[in-house]
Structure 1
Amino acid sequence: MSAFDLLRIAGSGLGMHQAWVDAVAHNIANVNTVRSTDQEAFRAQYVIARSQAGGGVEVGGVALGDPTGRVVHDPQHPLADAEGYVRHPEVDMASQMAQLIMAQRGYQASAQVTKNAQDMYTSALQIGRGA
């Protein structure tokens, strides 16, 4: 592994974890999105990570959640159909919060690896200048 592979791999982790945080934040922001039963429910986004040749990770795609969602009886809601039903997204807030914590920790770890690599390269340059 070359000296700059460490930065490339950590940088790829930063990008993937940022995409994961963004997707989870989008899901959490839309957890209470209500639609009429003749429309699809909000579809949660799930980032698919894929390993890269030579190390690192990238966003392999984004899977979407179930468009059916949950049909809830709420006759007072302005979007309720004739029988009083509305469509809620199939997004579990507890699961999304756990996903958010994991994505944030992964981002922090990648950022720390990047900082450590930069410190190591700076120290190596200082040694070279002192000789």
Structure 2
Amino acid sequence: MGAFESLRIANTSLGMHQTWLDSLADNIANANTITGTDEDAFQAQMVIARARPDGGVDVAGIAEGDPEGRLVFSPDHPLADADGYVRSPDIDLGSQMSQLVMAQRGFQAAVQVTKTAQDGYNAALQIGRS
């Protein structure tokens, strides 16, 4: 692996993990967003990662959840239909929180690779100065 290749690969990982963290934050923030039954529910975003031939990783796309969501009986809600139902996103908070931990750990690992590479490059520069 070349001198700057580890930094390049770590940089692609940082970008993908940041996108994943952003989408998870949006999903968690909107997990309790209620709409009327005549509207689409909030659609969760799922990041699709793709390995690159050069060892990095890219965001291949963002898949969206089901706009149907789930119907919840809540006759006192101001958006309830005549039958007392509202539409709620079909988001499992437990799954979102588990993914959040994985995305955070991946981001932290990429940061550590960057720091380790920078320390190595700085040590090499110090050798040249002596």
Q: Unaligned stretches of 5+ in structure 2?
A: none
Q: Which structure 1 residue ranges, 4+ long, deviate > 2 Å from structure 2?
A: none
1:6 matches 2:6: yes
- TM-score (norm. length: structure 2): 0.98
Supply the AA of the counterpart residue of 1:6.
S
Q: 1:127, CA displacement in angstroms?
A: 1.0
Q: Counterparts of 1:6-45 in structure 2 under 5 Å?
A: 6-45=6-45
Cα deviations by residue, 1:56-80 (Å, 9 ceiling, x for unpaired): 0011100001111110111100000
* Residue of structure 2 in register with 1:129 after alignment: 129
Between the aligned partners of 2:12 and 2:108, the Cα distance in structure 1 is 13
* Residue of structure 2 in register with 1:57 after alignment: 57
Instruction: Give the number of aligned pairs.
Output: 130
**Identity %, equivalent residues:** 63
Supply the AA of the counterpart residue of 2:99.
Q
Q: Cα RMSD between the aligned structures?
A: 0.6
Q: 1:55, CA displacement in angstroms?
A: 1.1
Q: Unaligned stretches of 5+ in structure 1?
A: none
Cα deviations by residue, 1:28-73 (Å, 9 ceiling, x for unpaired): 0000000000111100000000111211001110000111111011
Supply the AA of the counterpart residue of 2:103.
A
Between the aligned partners of 2:18 and 2:104, the Cα distance in structure 1 is 8
* Residue of structure 2 in register with 1:87 after alignment: 87
Between the aligned partners of 1:10 and 1:73, the Cα distance in structure 2 is 47
Cα deviations by residue, 1:75-111 (Å, 9 ceiling, x for unpaired): 1000000111000000011110001000000000000
